[in-house]
Amino acid sequence: MHHWVQISEDKTKVLGNSNAIPRDSGCRYVDEVTWGGKVKFHVDVSDELLDFVMNDMGGSLSICFPTDGSKPLIIFGHDECIFKQFCMSKKSWVGLNGETNIVPKDDGLGIMISSFQSRELPGHN
């Protein structure tokens, strides 16, 4: 999943000194392109790491992700809600002589709202 952030050793030290991330955490490795030290973190380690996310997907893939053409996992959640026409009308005012409004026997027509949500695609519900 796109839940990983890779940052330089220097930025890791700055975040560790400010207690934004736990000290000596993360997976350290050498970037083969720049030959510099990098540290891999899961985006949930700290809110500060979200500032280092460079990708629209909310993070990068893990450096351990296979390069054999595998596709990354994207999780979608689904939720729905139904609003009924008369669901709040079971109570009514009672007049001085005991008269009341006619109360519907059922909840009436309903409208269902359904949505999908994904952490990898924020803002695309």
> What's the predicted TM-score (pTM) here?
0.51
Q: Tens digit of pLDDT for each residue in 35-52?
A: 678 888 877 777 777 666
Residue that has been written with the tokens 């990983």 in this structure = 4
Domain-wise residue ranges, the chain: 4-52, 77-117
3-state secondary structure of 42: strand
Element at 78 (helix H, strand E): strand 77-84
Q: Tens digit of pLDDT for each residue in 77-110?
A: 889 999 988 877 667 788 899 888 887 778 889 9
